């Protein structure tokens, strides 16, 4: 096989991949639940972007307080009621949307980056490197992510950045394991190509030939993990390790509301529903993406 | 058989480097803490002399490797260190709190397995029809709530409004817990033949366990469905059906067994998730377990308990994985171990 | 076979369901059920000290004196005398006091207990640090003990309710290599009105009335025992109290007060507390060393809104000392909420137009400290100063107060005087020798104040001392070392059937269990 042939083989596979994707999109569009998820999520995204311009009391998310309006029940003036210092919960929940999405995205991207890097190194080079990386991965996987995240974040100190770092640091092993197994199964194939190719570096083989074919399962994992990442971040906020006030962080807002629950139920209920909406829509969407990219999981 | 035994011995031996690694990890985390841990133990009015005395007492004046060595050798002797805040032995605390978490988690796994299997089987039997979609929506729905939030809502509905279940704790305060055997009240009360206490503890356990179980419902349902579809597709099942054996019998006798074995792995994986979820559920229901303990310790930066809890989680998690493998082998003789 | 099994299992299920739904809680008549906000971590008098631990220690042990209401009453002590310079104190003990094992409480036991606290030097020892050493306590005979302090200390009696007497024989038998700490942290060795019952860590603690308690009971009737049930949530506490599952709830949220008061047979007691909240400004800090900036900050706080904003009833502080506490000075010049004045003071600083940012440090997840921060944030934003909310875990806060360099610009600190004397809260907050503890996180240093506070603690005459404390406080207020916020009113919810409750500013959150009794509780 010459270099040319190898390239054409590779492009044939790209062609296949493309057709697969088209089939997938077709299946996805026929999946009503995923479409619902996508619709809700688009709405959430829009809200995240326009919130600062449309909410009735944007200053309530950045430091205003109103003595005379503490703990008002939902009304026309305050759709979701007010909290312990008289802030409009509707405004705060909407203003918090962007933060929640940002936190989820950052965690998944950071965790995936670390995990994919370590996983592909382990899978590609094998032997001692593999052993070492996988033993470290095992250690992280031996403790539930939330427990370790609590410990790491507590040690780093409270704050939303530390929450993101803490969760990412315990989230990568899943990606590492997945990537490793994918790389191992694709490696043999790639080595044949590489052996025939001229001057292909390890780097090139890995990024040009192996990883592109491992993308689907990784995307599936990223999309299904997103909801859990948002929930975990909210959990840390709830415990009291999250964003610093007056940042409208949903987990912390639920925690605030706990002292007033159930007599002033609105303080805790609405941020909880907001979290649910984001996670639920992602889970619907993730379920659809899984069907598309990993058809064996559903027939 | 020998091969099998060898495999498990190797698995168990591999636990050792794992736990050493884990202890190094948690120890490093605990020493990253910027604050002065002694401030915690010394109390509000501490003078520098009091603090110095304490630093010495807790061995914090020694070098890190020495501290680590002492900590690890202590672990083997059952001395898991002392909480800086409460001065209690971490080992004693773990002994008190661990069974509570284990009981909650086991109950949740049980509920999730039952509900998940039922939903999964239904989904598969009515593939791509209404029950299938419905089961999918239900599980995605419940797994999407923040558990601590759902716990509050359930506590409100079933505890306060309907008054069907107690709102918190493992037993009413005036009911003395059964004499300790395992530390799990439901198990101990049964072993002691005390049905009344058993009933009371189940009643306390139910709502927290139900809330917790939702965390594992989605994946158990999904895998049961997939395995079920696969099993239904097997030649021998098709054959049985073709021969005209009653549908119920085919499903009940041949399919469910296979499906359950296949699902076992997922259930055990979920065990870890649920044990972590217990952290949040426990704080709502005042359930005196590891979760409540780690949250309180974290907020105080009391790292001796945090280290102990992580190591316990590590041991349990790894053990569950090994036991699952073992069970899997026993239930499905075709499995071979490398 | 198959159906048989099914039928049996159905029967079992029904039986289980029946057991579950008919297992009703039983109420014992004379056991008080107490919802406590905090765990009782440790019951060693030498290492444990906080409100819940102290409540347990008061119940299990006896001390030389006891805080009852606002008074300090002799307890193990029959009579006493002090030298003119307040440095030698001699106490005659009551005869007839016995430990739970029947052995007498002797002067030797007092000496042993005192020295044990000093030697272990745990949290309770701060009271005697610097005024006592291993030679201080001497037993003159079986029932006479003398304390020769290393320097005169007038408020000595006020510290003695914390000197809980342990049974030396029991401690020695379980001494181990840590002076009995491992043993005593979970097991009592005292002579107090109660003994330990069920002891479920992290869950509940049962105390049983000691049979034939040597000191007798204050009221004709007394409890057969009480249970300290840990209920961390104010909402849980309220619900349990209203449902009749507890008799006392020690933490009631302000927003729940009406619910409890309106409920039949429940009552909420509200008293002026002595738990004081202060925003310490770092007097050595980059910005806050400037007195005009400190005054500007103090004028940007909306004090009048505090009672409405806080979730507990509060009384705004009229200066360093609350109006209900000994040593209060009338007519101090204390700032009010006045943005114009704040701006005026700011114009005298090197940052006349603001544009600076200050850190406000407070305990993570503690709304009562977060809310004042949010209020100050709003006030300061009006004079173009940014307040940066920095929630910290408590140990980190304590650590940040170690040196003026690490001390935050502003930090929210609660203080509770350890005894009923101005010395108890002025010395540790404003004497420069106390730098390093979080009480003195304002890093205030004024030689005149140092001198006044040192002299005052050595004088025997109360009026003369109060005059010195008044002078000191005038100076402290003029220097605006801190922003004095409020004292928390103590709020405790009870079933009306609980009798004998008397509020004490020394333990505002809880009760003196030995004085309580129940009448007509179900």
| Both tokens assigned to B78 | 């059952």
List of chains touching C (3+ CB pairs within 8 A): A, B
Mean per-residue pLDDT, A11-36: 69
CA B232 to chain centroid:
32
Rounded average pLDDT over C368-396: 89
Chain C residue numbers with beta carbons less than 8 Å from the beta carbon of A239 are: 365
Cβ-based neighbours of A154, under 8 Å, separated by 6 or more: A241, B298, B299, B301, B306, C393
Q: Which residues of A touch C (CB under 8 A)?
A: 63-65, 67-68, 70-71, 84-85, 154, 157-158, 239-241, 244-246, 255-256, 258-264
Residue of chain C whose alpha carbon sits nearest to that of B302:
C395
A258/C364 CB distance under 8 A: no
Q: Indicate whether A220 pLDDT > 70.
A: yes
Residue C27: predicted pLDDT = 46
Kindly report the nearest CA distance between residue A194 and chain B, in angstroms: 31
The residues that bridge with C484 in the sheet, in sequence order, are C278
> Do residues B283 and B291 lie in contact, with contact meaning Cβ atoms separated by under 8 Å?
yes
Separation of alpha carbons C237 and C240, rounded Å: 5
Q: What is the reported pLDDT for C20? A: 47
> What pLDDT, on the 0 to 100 scale, is given for residue A11?
61
Quote the pLDDT of residue B168.
82
* B182 φ/ψ sector (left φ>0, alpha ψ -120 to 50, else beta): alpha
Task: Provide the H-helix boundaries in A126-210.
Answer: 127-141, 145-156, 160-196, 202-204
Asked if C421 and C326 touch (Cβ cutoff 8 Å), the reply is yes
Structural contact between residues C435 and B46, judged by C-beta atoms closer than 8 angstroms: no
What is the rounded average pLDDT of the residues C283-293?
95
Contact C22 B301 (CB under 8 A): no
Residue A141 vs residue A31, higher pLDDT: A141
- From the list B49, B173, B203, the residue facing C129 with the nearest CB is B49
Helix (H) or strand (E) holding B222: helix B195-233
Based on its alpha-carbon atoms, the radius of gyration of chain C, rounded to whole angstroms, reads 26
Q: Is the Cβ pair C255, A71 closer than 8 Å?
A: yes
Alpha carbon distance B108, B87 (integer Å): 32
From A146's Cα to the closest Cα of chain C, the distance in A is: 19
- What's the gap between Cα C201 and its chain centre? 22
User: Each residue of A27-66: pLDDT tens digit?
Assistant: 666 677 788 889 999 999 999 999 999 999 998 888 888 8
Element (H, E) at C227: strand C225-230
Contacts of B40 in chain C (CB under 8 A): 394-395, 398
Strands C144-148 and C137-141: antiparallel
Contact C483, C301 (CB under 8 A): yes
Q: What's the fold here for domain B90-299?
A: MetI-like fold (1.10.3720)
What is the Cα–Cα distance from C41 to C25, expressed in whole angstroms? 27
Both tokens assigned to B16: 């050792």
Round to whole Å and give the CA distance between C461 and C466.
9
The reported pLDDT for the residue numbered C437 is: 81
- Nearest chain C residue to A236 by CA distance is C365
Strand partners for B294: none
Please answer yes or no on whether A245 and C256 come within 8 Å at the CB atom: no
C359 touches A at CB < 8 Å? no
E strands, B19-170, are none
3-state secondary structure of C376: helix
Phi and psi at A172, nearest 5°, equal -65, -30
- Comparing CB atoms, the residue among C227, C398, C438 nearest residue B173 is C227
User: For residues C489 and C186, is the Cβ–Cβ distance under 8 A?
Assistant: no
Domains of chain C: 8-61+192-272+490-518 (3.40.190.10), 65-171 (3.90.76.10), 276-488 (3.10.105.10)
User: What does the domain layout of chain B look like in residue ranges?
Assistant: 90-299
Distance CA(C275)–CA(C485), nearest Å, equals 11
* Whole-number pLDDT of residue A15: 67
Mutant choice from C257, C374, C384 vs A, greatest count of A C-beta within 10 A: C374
Q: What is the largest CA-CA distance in chain B?
A: 87
- The count of CB pairs under 8 A between chains A and C is 69
Q: At what angle do helices A266-293 and A250-258 cross, to 10 degrees?
A: 140
Contact B200 C23 (CB under 8 A): yes
- What's the rounded mean pLDDT across residues C76-91? 94
Q: CA-CA distance, C413 to C443, in Å (whole number)?
A: 13
The pLDDT tens digits for C342-359 are: 999 999 999 999 999 999
| Residue pLDDT, tens place only, C318-329 | 999 998 888 999
Beta bridge partners of C93: C77
- Contact partners for chain A, using 3 or more CB pairs closer than 8 A, are B, C
H helices of C88-233, in order, are 107-120, 156-159, 168-173, 181-184
Q: At what angle do helices B256-285 and A145-156 cross, to 10 degrees?
A: 30
Residues of C in contact with A65 (CB under 8 A): 309, 371, 374-375, 378
How far is C-alpha C118 from the chain's CA centre? 21
DSSP B112-156: HHHHHHHHHHHHHHTTTSHHHHHHHHHHHHHHTS-HHHHHHHHII
In sequence order, the 6+-apart residues with CB closer than 8 A to the CB of A122 are A129, A130, A133, A134, A137, A176, A180, A183
Tell me which chain C residues have a C-beta less than 8 angstroms from the C-beta of A261.
235
Distance between CA atoms of B220 and B108, rounded to whole angstroms? 12
Q: Which of A33, A147, A261 sits opposite B309 (nearest CB)?
A: A147
Q: Give the closest residue to C418 by CA, choosing from C428, C409, C410.
A: C428
Q: Quickly count: other Cβ atoms within 10 Å of residue B252's Cβ.
A: 11
User: pLDDT category, A165, cuts 50, 70, 90?
Assistant: very high
Q: For residues A55 and C463, give the distance between their C-alpha atoms in angstroms, rounded to a whole number.
A: 61
Asked if C309 and A70 come within 8 Å (Cβ–Cβ), the reply is: yes
| C320 within 8 A of C473, measured Cβ to Cβ | yes
A154 chain-C contacts, CB cut-off 8 A: 393
Shortest Cα distance from B239 to chain A (angstroms)? 21
Q: Which of B25, B152, B313 sits opposite A258 (nearest CB)?
A: B152
Number of A–B residue contacts, CB under 8 Å: 135
Domains and CATH numbers, chain A: 3-297 (1.10.3720.10)
Q: How confident is the model at residue C68 (pLDDT cuts 50, 70, 90)?
A: very high
What CA–CA distances, in Å, run from C84 to C65, C327, C419, C468? 21, 22, 21, 19
- Range with the poorest average pLDDT among A7-16, A44-53, A99-108, C175-184: A7-16
Q: How far apart, in whole angstroms, are the C-alpha atoms of residue C267 and residue C260? A: 7
Nearest partner of B104 among B185, B40, B181, judged by Cα? B185
The candidate with the shortest Cα–Cα distance to C283, out of C427, C476, C487, C485, is C476
Task: Tell me if A138 and B229 make a contact (CB, 8 A cut-off).
Answer: no
Cα end-to-end distance, chain A, whole Å = 38
The one-digit pLDDT tens for each residue of chain B (338 residues) are 456 678 778 888 888 888 888 889 888 887 776 566 676 667 666 677 777 777 887 788 888 888 888 888 888 888 888 888 888 889 999 999 999 999 999 999 999 999 998 898 888 888 888 888 888 888 889 989 999 999 999 988 988 788 888 888 888 888 888 888 888 999 999 998 888 899 999 999 999 999 999 988 888 898 888 888 887 777 666 666 666 666 666 666 667 777 777 777 778 778 888 888 888 899 888 899 998 899 888 888 888 898 899 889 888 888 888 887 777 777 665 555 44
In 3D space, the residue among C391, C467, C456 whose CA is nearest the CA of residue C427 turns out to be: C456
């Amino acid at each position: 096989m010459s270099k040319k042939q190898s390239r054409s083989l590779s492009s044939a596979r790209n062609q296949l991949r493309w057709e697969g994707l088209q089939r997938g999109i077709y299946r996805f569009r026929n999946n009503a639940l995923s479409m619902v998820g996508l619709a809700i999520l688009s709405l959430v995204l829009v809200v995240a972007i326009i919130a600062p311009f449309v909410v009735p009391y944007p200053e309530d998310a950045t430091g205003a307080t109103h003595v005379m309006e503490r703990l008002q029940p939902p009304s026309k003036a305050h759709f979701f009621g007010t909290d312990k210092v008289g802030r409009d919960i509707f405004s705060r929940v909407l203003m918090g949307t962007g933060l929640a999405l940002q936190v989820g995205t950052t965690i998944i991207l950071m965790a995936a980056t670390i995990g994919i890097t370590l996983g592909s190194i382990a899978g590609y080079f094998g032997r001692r490197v593999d052993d070492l990386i996988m033993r470290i991965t095992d250690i992280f996987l031996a403790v539930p992510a939330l427990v370790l995240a609590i410990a790491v974040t507590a040690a780093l100190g409270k704050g939303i950045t530390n929450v993101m770092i803490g969760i990412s640091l315990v989230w990568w092993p899943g990606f590492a394991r997945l990537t490793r197994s994918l790389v191992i199964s694709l490696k043999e194939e790639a080595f044949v190509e590489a052996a025939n190719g001229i001057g292909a570096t390890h780097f090139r083989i890995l990024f040009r030939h192996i990883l592109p074919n491992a993308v689907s399962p990784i995307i599936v994992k990223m999309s299904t993990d997103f909801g859990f990442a948002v929930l975990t971040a909210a959990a840390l906020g709830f415990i009291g390790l999250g964003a610093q006030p007056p940042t409208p962080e949903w987990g912390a807002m639920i925690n605030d509301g706990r002292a007033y629950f159930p007599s002033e139920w609105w303080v805790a209920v609405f941020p909880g529903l907001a979290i649910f909406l984001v996670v639920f829509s992602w889970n619907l969407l993730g379920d659809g993406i899984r069907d598309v990219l990993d058809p064996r999981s559903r027939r | 058989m020998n091969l099998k035994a060898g495999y498990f011995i190797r698995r168990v031996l591999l636990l050792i480097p794992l736990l050493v690694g884990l202890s190094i990890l948690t120890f490093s985390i605990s020493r990253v803490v910027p604050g002065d841990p002694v401030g915690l133990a010394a109390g509000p009015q501490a003078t520098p002399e009091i603090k110095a005395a304490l630093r010495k007492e807790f061995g914090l004046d020694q070098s890190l490797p020495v501290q680590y060595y002492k900590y690890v050798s202590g672990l083997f002797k059952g001395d898991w260190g002392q909480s800086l805040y409460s001065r209690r032995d971490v080992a004693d605390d773990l002994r008190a709190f661990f069974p509570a978490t284990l009981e909650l988690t086991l109950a949740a796994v049980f509920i999730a397995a039952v509900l998940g299997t039922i939903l999964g089987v239904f989904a598969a039997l009515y593939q791509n029809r209404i029950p299938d979609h419905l089961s999918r929506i239900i599980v995605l729905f419940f797994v999407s709530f923040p558990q601590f939030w759902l716990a509050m809502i359930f506590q409100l509905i079933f505890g306060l409004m309907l008054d069907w279940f107690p709102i918190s704790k493992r037993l009413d305060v005036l009911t003395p817990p059964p004499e300790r055997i395992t530390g799990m009240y439901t198990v101990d009360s049964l072993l002691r033949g005390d049905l009344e206490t058993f009933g009371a503890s189940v009643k306390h356990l139910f709502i927290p366990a139900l809330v917790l179980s939702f965390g594992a419902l989605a994946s158990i349902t999904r895998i049961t469905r997939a395995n079920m579809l696969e099993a239904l597709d097997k030649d021998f099942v098709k054959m049985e059906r073709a021969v005209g054996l009653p549908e119920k019998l085919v499903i009940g006798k041949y399919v469910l067994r296979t499906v359950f074995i296949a699902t076992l792995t997922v259930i055990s994986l979920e065990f870890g998730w649920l044990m972590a979820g217990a952290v949040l559920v426990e704080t709502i229901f005042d359930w005196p377990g590891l979760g409540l303990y780690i949250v309180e310790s974290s907020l105080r930066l009391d790292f001796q308990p945090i280290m102990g809890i992580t190591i316990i989680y590590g041991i349990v998690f790894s053990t569950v994985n090994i036991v699952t493998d073992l069970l899997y082998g026993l239930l499905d003789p075709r499995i071979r171990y490398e | 076979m198959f159906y048989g099994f099914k039928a049996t299992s159905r029967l079992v299920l029904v039986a289980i369901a029946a057991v579950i739904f008919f297992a009703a809680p039983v109420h014992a008549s004379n056991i008080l059920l107490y919802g406590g906000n905090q765990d009782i971590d440790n019951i060693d008098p030498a290492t444990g000290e906080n409100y819940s631990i102290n409540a347990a220690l008061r119940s299990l042990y006896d001390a030389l004196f006891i805080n009852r209401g606002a008074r300090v009453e002799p307890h193990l002590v029959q009579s006493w005398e002090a030298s003119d310079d307040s440095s030698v104190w001699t106490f005659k003990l009551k005869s007839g006091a016995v430990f739970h094992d029947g052995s007498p409480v002797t002067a030797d036991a007092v000496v042993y207990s005192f020295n044990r606290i000093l030697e272990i030097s745990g949290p309770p020892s701060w009271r005697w640090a610097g005024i006592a050493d291993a030679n201080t306590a001497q037993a003159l005979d079986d029932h006479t003990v003398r304390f020769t302090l290393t320097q005169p200390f007038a408020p000595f009696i006020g510290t003695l309710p914390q000197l809980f007497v342990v049974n030396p024989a029991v401690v020695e038998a379980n001494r181990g290599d840590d002076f009995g700490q491992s043993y005593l942290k979970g097991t009592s060795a005292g002579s107090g009105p109660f003994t330990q019952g069920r002891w479920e860590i992290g869950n509940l603690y049962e105390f049983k009335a000691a049979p034939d308690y040597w000191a007798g009971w204050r009221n004709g009737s007394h409890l057969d025992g009480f249970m300290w049930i840990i209920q961390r949530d104010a909402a849980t506490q309220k619900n349990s109290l209203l449902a009749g599952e507890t008799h006392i709830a020690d933490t009631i949220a302000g927003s729940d007060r009406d619910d409890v008061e309106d409920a039949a047979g429940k009552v909420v007691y509200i008293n002026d507390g002595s738990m004081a909240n202060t925003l310490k400004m770092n007097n050595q800090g980059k910005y806050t060393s400037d007195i005009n900036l400190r005054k500007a900050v103090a004028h940007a706080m909306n004090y009048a809104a505090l009672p409405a904003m806080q979730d507990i009833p509060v009384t705004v502080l009229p200066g360093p000392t609350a109006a209900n506490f000994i040593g209060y000075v009338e007519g101090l010049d204390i700032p009010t909420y006045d943005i114009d004045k704040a701006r005026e003071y700011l114009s005298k600083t090197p940052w006349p137009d603001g544009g600076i940012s200050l850190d406000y440090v407070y305990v993570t997840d503690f709304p009562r400290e977060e809310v004042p921060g949010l209020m100050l944030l709003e006030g300061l934003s009006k004079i173009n100063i940014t307040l940066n909310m920095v929630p910290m875990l408590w140990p980190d806060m304590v650590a940040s107060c170690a040196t003026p360099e690490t001390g935050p610009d502003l930090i929210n600190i609660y203080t509770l005087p350890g005894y009923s004397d101005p010395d108890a809260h002025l010395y540790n907050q404003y004497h420069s020798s106390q730098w390093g503890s979080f009480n003195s996180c304002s890093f205030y240093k004024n030689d005149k104040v140092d001198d006044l506070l040192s002299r005052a603690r050595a004088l025997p005459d109360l009026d003369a001392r109060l005059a010195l404390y008044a002078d000191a406080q005038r100076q402290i207020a003029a220097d605006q070392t801190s922003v004095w916020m409020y004292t928390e009113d103590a709020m405790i919810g009870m079933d009306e059937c609980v009798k004998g409750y008397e509020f004490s500013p020394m333990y505002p959150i809880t009760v003196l269990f030995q004085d309580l009794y129940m009448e007509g509780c179900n």
